[in-house]
Structure 1
Amino acid sequence: MFTFTPLLGAQSASSKASQSILELDGGIKILVDVGWDDTFDPLDLQELEKHVPTLSLILLTHATPAHIGAFAHCCKTFPLFTQIPVYATSPVIALGRTLLQDLYASSPLAATFLPKATEATHAGRILLQPPTAEEIARYFSLIHPLKYSQPHQPLPSPFSPPLNGLTLTAYNAGHTVGGTIWHIQHGMESIVYAVDWNQARESVVAGAAWFGGSGASGTEVIEQLRKPTALVCSTRGGERFALPGGRKKRDDLLLDMIRSTIAKGGTVLIPTDTSARVLELAYALEHAWRDAAGSGQGDDVLKGAGLYLAGRKANTTMRLARSMLEWMDENIVREFEAAEEGKGVGPFTFKHLRILERKKRLEKILSDQKPKVILASDTSLDWGFAKDSLRLVAEGANNLLLLTEPLHKERITEGQESTHRKTLGSMIWQWYEERKDGVALEKASDGEMLEQENLDNAADALDDRSSSTSEDSETEQQGRVLNFSTSLAHSNRNKLGLSDEDLGVNILLRRKNVYDYDVRGKKGRERMFPYVAPRKKGDEFGEFIRPEDTADELSLAEDGEVDAAVSSEDEVEGQSFEGPAKAVYEKATLTINARLAYVDFTGLHDKRSLEMLIPLIQPRKLILVGGMKQETTALATECQKLLAAKSGMDVSAADSAVIFTPVNGEVVDASVDTNAWMVKLSNNLVRRLKWQHVRSLGVVTLTAQLRGPEQAVLEDSTEENPSKKPKLLEEEKKEEGGSTEVATNAPPEGAKPSADKSEVYPLLDVLPVNMAAGTRSMTRPLHVGDLRLADLRKIMQGAGHTAEFRGEGTLLIDGMVAVRKSATGRIEIEASAQSAAATNLGRGGGSFLAVKQKIYEGLAVVSGS
């Protein structure tokens, strides 16, 4: 049994968040992804909260807010969530931790509000305490790291039923470093969960492992991912075609737009994420600046422009990236090895890219009029340094806002206007799509015209800037002012009129130009130089603020020593805030005169790759999620035709692939189509079974006689008293006043029905002697199993033979025997003519016979019993 329930991300036009529940036989529930959208609405997590007490394990696919954004919130808010085992790859764990630390440090609204049921009437916007950086690190330390292509049997949660041999295997999904395609094997169910993958290779991220991963040249999908009983695939980008020319054309288009802006003296703002796609952008721009610096062209505008990466955890992200080279494309590994040999600079050792982690430093850079390019988080423009930078970049007519991902725009009806907040990013994307003020065309270096939208008129955008304060009411702030004025009054006490005798030794401190004091004849403290310990003045709310303490720092900033002042402000900014907080909203007018442009840097599958890969995967059942309704419906119709054509059937045939397009909350039954029955085996039959083990499965063939449930009751009585014959048992029951028929009828009135359901199962028993002799001659032995060519290669090499892959899916052994595997799983062996002398050699009687013997050894030979 397998049922699929999308909680978020199915046919959604306004959210990219992904959450899915997979329920398997025996009550096993798997949650895949804990995504959240940019509004941080806790109502989106209500359905997830209902499933938490029944979850068996959690799987994470990508280190992006759409897949992992609510993980820390769930760990802090839902009591049982931290007891559920979580599995992900090492890059998803490390980069996801930096992502959420940046998220909660940049966006106070991510902490969510106090529930309405416990709020006071006058305080409607009280924020909950957000998870600290230490808590987020502790939550992510609970995740179990996995490697690619290594099957793993997970541990269940304390409140989960047994997993019964469930196996997880992670494969590279592309799109992000460590992104995962999950293969779940449980009994007869073989499920492939592939959401947000990319088959194309990029500069940093390798392509998806459908054909074997980086360096593979196969034309067929690997065996582990081929012909699953169910494939869960995303449809995001299902109506989009990739840019002709591939990655190089995309990078050139990006650099042409940057050069055209820098040549005008403008600033380019590129919103990006914190720890996923930013690696691809940072690598491409850093190498473009390196090429410009190393070229002999003096007129390259990139030489005089600055390149910056702004993010609160940008340094940590790049440091982690240097330790994840084995998870990236093989070209990154070769570049790193060349740098180790002194032949160049490492891929993430930046010579031109400067990292900014403080808001004040970013504002200082933006206030400079020199041309520059700034990468800032986040892509949504609703939080992070990208939102702060937009206020300073938007008004410049020569500036450029360069979007790298399409932003979902809110589709709000009139009745929903009061409950939904329209985000800044969705408004800007809507302006870009509508081409509000026309399209400005500029010629690129190759003569192609570039489209850049110019918003010349002022546009009013609602900027919901949230600020948090530790004060719960205005009266407390008034109290602080009174305390400060009182402290100033106390400073005048030393001006009271006192005589020299009254002052005593303190005259050295109170009187000017007095340096001598006669201590002869004095005792105690009158003989000591006076010292007054400074006493910090304050009350139960803390120390009093003294404006004169900050006067020196302000004068230093005025004298030009800006760095010292900025560093002190950075220390204050970096301090974590603890205590009650309230969100205060302000409406601001944002005038956008900058140009808008878009280059697709999402790194996701497009229409062509989806329509090419899905027929090659050949799923029995296809579940489409993670896209808008229009693209989901269109892809479902096209896949129905392609899968039917692949199998040679009509679209309306009953045996054609079944395609589901569920909406959020809809439960679809995608169980494997098998004919299976529950029967009970007699003890005599079980003793005669000879099991053969194939990997983790036990296989046996049997020939038995099927009996009804009524005869099964008598069988149980016989097995409990094996020394007695059935006839004696019947006589004993008659002597007790009952009969055999009465014993098998319904229980008497008032008696509770038996809870043991095994009584209603049919019984399989050994055949009578007269029937067993006739069936024994009709049974033939069966070869059961699925032998991989890679395993056969290792076996033959261990036996002393030479074995290597030649061509596509052909294993050549000793240069004479070719082994292939067809799409149906059938193994074909071809051999050249061998002399009698070669056949009588050692090594198992010749290559052909040796290969045949090893293949049989890798399969289970099951004979009838």
Structure 2
Amino acid sequence: MSGEGVIQLTPLYGANDTDAMCYLLEIDDCRIMLDCGWDERFDERHLEALATAINDVDCVLVSHADISHLGALPYAIGQLGLDCPIYSTQPVWRMGSMFMYDAWQRLTARAEFDLFSIDDVDSAFDKFKTVTYAQECHLTGRGDGIVVTPFQAGHSLGGAIWRIVKDTEQIVYAVDLNHSRERHLDGTVLEISCPRPSVLITDAYNGLTVMTTKRNERDAQLFDAIRACLDGGGNCLMPVDTAGRVLELLVLLHSKWVSARLDQSYTIAFASHVAQNTLDFARTYVEWMSEKCQKQFDQMRENPFDLKHVVICQSLEEVLALRQPALVLASSLFMEMSFAEDLFIQWASDPKNLVGRDVMMTTAPRVPCLATTLLQKPTPKSVQIVRRYRVPLEGAELREYEEKRKEQEASVAKEESESESDEEDAEEDDGMARPGGAVGQATAMFKRGLKLTPSFPMYGFKEVVRSSDIYGEAIDFSEYAPPETNPDGISANPSGAAESASALLESATTIPAVPTKALTEHLTVGVRCAVHFVDFEGRMDQSSIKTVIKRVLPRKAVLVHGSAQAKDHIQEFLERELPNTSSVLIPDNQLSSVINSETNVFNVKIRDSLNKSLRFVQVGDYEVAYVDGRIVKSDDSRNRYPTLEQVAATAVPDRPAVYLGGSRMADLKKAIARAGIDAEFINGILVCAGGLVNIRKVTDHQVSVQGALCSQYFDIRRILYDQYQIL
């Protein structure tokens, strides 16, 4: 930033807890989109703000793989014309494609859906550039000078915090965090990797949620409820997402299945259109999992997703054919137009069954849908369901369809024939430039039209490209193509490049070749089954949010994605407990919040003579030097920046020393102890050498050293100075 930098954040949507997430971050002239989500209903009206702001977006940063973080990307690219690089970790790229393929499959299998096509999904994920944790990505164009870096967020496989740095400003985008270690994921590293940011953009989704039970207790509650249902002869339906929090549940439940030896008595199944692909890909991302998972894989070759007792189901028929009683983890969270809805309709009327509603992802429990209706207290005795399904065409409708299909095939055949004819005409032209300008071109066209030009006027030779080797084996030319890389090491085509939708979904349920039509049916379903709730969403609760933000110590904070009460509660806490946080902003949807930079940064040219005289010291990630010079502006308009020139030493006034860096009092105590001097904390004061010297931290930037002028005093003062870089 030059001069007084301005940072501006606009929630296109996502300010409230019922919204998907999409925020526009503007740093000077660069426009960065933070997530681009949708909800599982794919209502086009929710994207009106996105449509108006889509122009001139320089890049998109995706934090998690679920629909609420990236679900609108296929629509934005296919319908709105979004054309920019999209950055994410590799698991987010891969699992995100699973979310979107599953969504497209279940929607088109039940209704007329044309907001985006499967080709739009492929196009969206072709634009992804995958990066690893802590890998710096240097933006180009209007983003020149901006560096974005992902760090571990927890909550989902590959989930990322994004640190965005320009000059001295550090902006951290951290939503849907989980500080706790889970079975296949470690907790977030926010407070370690991104301390003291200029701006922290985070969510208050669970700002009012108080977690009263420990993880082991919640595990036991969940499994006990499932076991009681199965022991009573009932089936258990657990609505889950496609490829996010379901992974943690599968690892947990499979381990319980093995330890309790339930595989001989009951069935556990995972049902989605891409269930097999999801688990296959999860097995390949061990390096993105917890240290415990990596250690088990390295030492014992145990993969947490070798789930031998989990049955994969990719159609409703496969689920209904399972040995019962059964626990079925079925997509989707909303329980609408999905396997979860289909199974609920069939099982809800049986009092022996249990709908184990584990709220595991983002917005599902707070958006009006079948799932939230079932979670009401008390459980409703019946629910209204709008069921959408397809039936084969019959009679006159089938005949009309066949006639239209034949007309379309004839039209396509005619176009292909004309295209082949044009190609033959083009081959007959020798392609050589002719004199005569427009007249020459017209003559050439006339000759081609009358077939007067010989096919090969110079030499009758056409090179034949061999499609097989000398042994008859087909040659795959893609194997010899060089990989696409860039100077930053960012994968433009992520490893295991994106297979086409047809390849990924080869074994999944597909729309039958028999022509069908979509119908709608309004049902009243009696709820005689039990509805059970255990919190497995994998997000920080109120206490954890406060603790983590307090440790991060942001200079400014922006709260998004939460209820008004939750955001107000966290805001009041930060203003009370963090006096050094100058402002806590709560922006509303489509209203911009301007965040003025606390530092002024100017670009200047430095003369070589001055540059050679500078003494740089390392302070954190920066090299810093104190400069005495004179700014000279050039009369040449081509010189964008003024020049900093050296001045004579006699013209430089005396100045006090500048102390940079420093360390915590605990680190200072260790350094003094290493020098053989006793040191201990008494009432917040570091008492050294048996009380001869006392060190007290007055403010964040001031330390007081008091004591007798003895040798120990000067030794301790020297150790204190060594903690700083002095200019």
Q: Which residue among 15, 18, 23 is the counterpart of 1:20?
A: 23
Residues in 1 aligned to 2:516 and 2:629: alpha-carbon distance in whole angstroms? 73
Please tell me the residue identity of whatever aligns with 1:232.
I
Alignment correspondent of 2:221: 253
Q: Deviation per CA, 1:435-476: give whole Å up to 9, x if none.
A: 14xxxxxxxxxxxxxxxxxx5x4x14132415498x8x9965
Q: Larger radius of gyration, structure 1 or 2?
A: 1
| Cα 1:409/1:852, change in 2 over 3 Å | closer
Higher relative contact order (CA 8 A, sep 6+): 2
Alignment correspondent of 1:530: none
Please tell me the residue identity of whatever aligns with 2:201.
V
Alignment correspondent of 1:512: none
| Cα 1:465/1:230, change in 2 over 3 Å | same
Alignment correspondent of 2:547: 612
Q: How is 1:834-849 mapped onto 2 (pairs within 5 angstroms)?
A: none
Alignment correspondent of 1:4: 9
Q: Deviation per CA, 1:683-732: give whole Å up to 9, x if none.
A: 9x897565566666775523548xxxxxx9xx86xx67xxxxxxxxxxxx
Asked whether the equivalents of residues 337 and 388 of structure 2 are also in contact (C-alpha less than 8 Å), the reply is no
The answer to whether residue 281 in structure 2 is matched with residue 320 in structure 1 is yes
| Cα 1:28/1:597, change in 2 over 3 Å | same
Q: Deviation per CA, 1:200-225: give whole Å up to 9, x if none.
A: 11111211113xxxxxxxxxx32x41
Alignment correspondent of 1:131: 117
Alignment correspondent of 1:394: 348
| Cα 1:165/1:756, change in 2 over 3 Å | closer
Q: How is 1:75-474 mapped onto 2 (pairs within 5 angstroms)?
A: 75-79=77-81, 81-82=82-83, 84-108=84-108, 127-128=113-114, 130-132=116-118, 136-150=121-135, 152-156=136-140, 161=142, 163-210=143-190, 221-222=191-192, 224-244=193-213, 246-293=214-261, 303-340=264-301, 346-365=303-322, 370-405=324-359, 423-428=369-374, 432-436=375-379, 457=381, 459-467=382-390
Residues in 2 aligned to 1:479 and 1:677: alpha-carbon distance in whole angstroms? 70
Q: Percent identity?
A: 24
| Cα 1:542/1:703, change in 2 over 3 Å | closer
**Deviation for aligned residue 1:477:** 2.8
Residues in 1 aligned to 2:512 and 2:80: alpha-carbon distance in whole angstroms? 23
Question: Secondary structure at 1:610's aligned position in 2?
Answer: helix
Asked whether the equivalents of residues 286 and 294 of structure 2 are also in contact (C-alpha less than 8 Å), the reply is yes
Alignment correspondent of 1:61: 63
Please tell me the residue identity of whatever aligns with 2:546.
E
Q: How is 1:782-861 mapped onto 2 (pairs within 5 angstroms)?
A: 782=658
Alignment correspondent of 1:595: 530
Question: Secondary structure at 1:465's aligned position in 2?
Answer: strand
Asked whether the equivalents of residues 289 and 303 of structure 1 are also in contact (C-alpha less than 8 Å), the reply is no
**Deviation for aligned residue 1:638:** 2.1
Residues in 2 aligned to 1:37 and 1:480: alpha-carbon distance in whole angstroms? 33
Residues in 1 aligned to 2:283 and 2:167: alpha-carbon distance in whole angstroms? 40
Q: Deviation per CA, 1:302-355: give whole Å up to 9, x if none.
A: 751111111111111111111111211122223323532xxxx54211221111
Asked whether the equivalents of residues 240 and 331 of structure 2 are also in contact (C-alpha less than 8 Å), the reply is yes
Moved more, 175-184 or 379-388: 379-388
Question: Secondary structure at 2:307's aligned position in 1?
Answer: coil
Question: Secondary structure at 1:170's aligned position in 2?
Answer: strand
RMSD: 4.4
Alignment correspondent of 1:702: 628
**Deviation for aligned residue 1:358:** 2.1
Question: Secondary structure at 1:36's aligned position in 2?
Answer: coil
Asked whether the equivalents of residues 13 and 49 of structure 2 are also in contact (C-alpha less than 8 Å), the reply is no
Residues in 1 aligned to 2:508 and 2:203: alpha-carbon distance in whole angstroms? 40
Alignment correspondent of 1:46: 48
Q: Which residue among 778, 783, 803 is the counterpart of 2:654?
A: 778
Taking structure 1 as the reference length, the TM-score comes to: 0.61
Alignment correspondent of 2:458: none
Q: How is 1:583-732 mapped onto 2 (pairs within 5 angstroms)?
A: 584-644=519-579, 657-674=582-599, 676=600, 688=610, 690=613, 699=625, 701-704=627-630
Asked whether the equivalents of residues 691 and 698 of structure 1 are also in contact (C-alpha less than 8 Å), the reply is no
**Gapped runs of 5+ residues in structure 2?**
1-5, 411-504, 680-685, 687-696, 706-716
Taking structure 2 as the reference length, the TM-score comes to: 0.72
Residues in 2 aligned to 1:154 and 1:572: alpha-carbon distance in whole angstroms? 39
**Deviation for aligned residue 1:85:** 1.4
Residues in 2 aligned to 1:474 and 1:699: alpha-carbon distance in whole angstroms? 85
**Deviation for aligned residue 1:286:** 0.5
Residues in 2 aligned to 1:609 and 1:265: alpha-carbon distance in whole angstroms? 40
Question: Secondary structure at 1:386's aligned position in 2?
Answer: helix
| Cα 1:598/1:36, change in 2 over 3 Å | same
Q: Deviation per CA, 1:236-262: give whole Å up to 9, x if none.
A: 111111232x22111101011011111
| Cα 1:64/1:539, change in 2 over 3 Å | closer
**Deviation for aligned residue 1:815:** 6.7
**Deviation for aligned residue 1:765:** 8.4
| Cα 1:153/1:304, change in 2 over 3 Å | closer
**Deviation for aligned residue 1:138:** 4.7
Q: Deviation per CA, 1:82-117: give whole Å up to 9, x if none.
A: 3x111111111111111111111112399xxxxxxx
Asked whether the equivalents of residues 391 and 519 of structure 2 are also in contact (C-alpha less than 8 Å), the reply is yes
Asked whether the equivalents of residues 161 and 175 of structure 2 are also in contact (C-alpha less than 8 Å), the reply is yes
Residues in 1 aligned to 2:228 and 2:203: alpha-carbon distance in whole angstroms? 36
Residues in 2 aligned to 1:360 and 1:305: alpha-carbon distance in whole angstroms? 18
Asked whether the equivalents of residues 359 and 537 of structure 2 are also in contact (C-alpha less than 8 Å), the reply is yes
Question: Secondary structure at 1:673's aligned position in 2?
Answer: strand
Residues in 2 aligned to 1:169 and 1:630: alpha-carbon distance in whole angstroms? 32
**Gapped runs of 5+ residues in structure 1?**
111-124, 211-220, 294-300, 412-421, 437-454, 484-537, 544-569, 648-655, 706-711, 721-754, 790-806, 830-847
Residues in 1 aligned to 2:294 and 2:104: alpha-carbon distance in whole angstroms? 33
Alignment correspondent of 1:449: none
Residues in 2 aligned to 1:626 and 1:262: alpha-carbon distance in whole angstroms? 38
Residues in 2 aligned to 1:578 and 1:236: alpha-carbon distance in whole angstroms? 44
Question: Secondary structure at 2:226's aligned position in 1?
Answer: helix
Asked whether the equivalents of residues 273 and 377 of structure 1 are also in contact (C-alpha less than 8 Å), the reply is yes
Residues in 2 aligned to 1:482 and 1:226: alpha-carbon distance in whole angstroms? 67
Question: Secondary structure at 2:352's aligned position in 1?
Answer: coil
**Deviation for aligned residue 1:131:** 2.4
**Deviation for aligned residue 1:284:** 0.7
Q: How is 1:443-592 mapped onto 2 (pairs within 5 angstroms)?
A: 457=381, 459-467=382-390, 476-479=397-400, 574-575=509-510, 584-592=519-527
Asked whether the equivalents of residues 614 and 626 of structure 2 are also in contact (C-alpha less than 8 Å), the reply is yes
Residues in 2 aligned to 1:399 and 1:692: alpha-carbon distance in whole angstroms? 74
Please tell me the residue identity of whatever aligns with 1:70.
A
Question: Secondary structure at 1:630's aligned position in 2?
Answer: helix
How many residues were matched structurally?
596
| Cα 1:229/1:540, change in 2 over 3 Å | closer
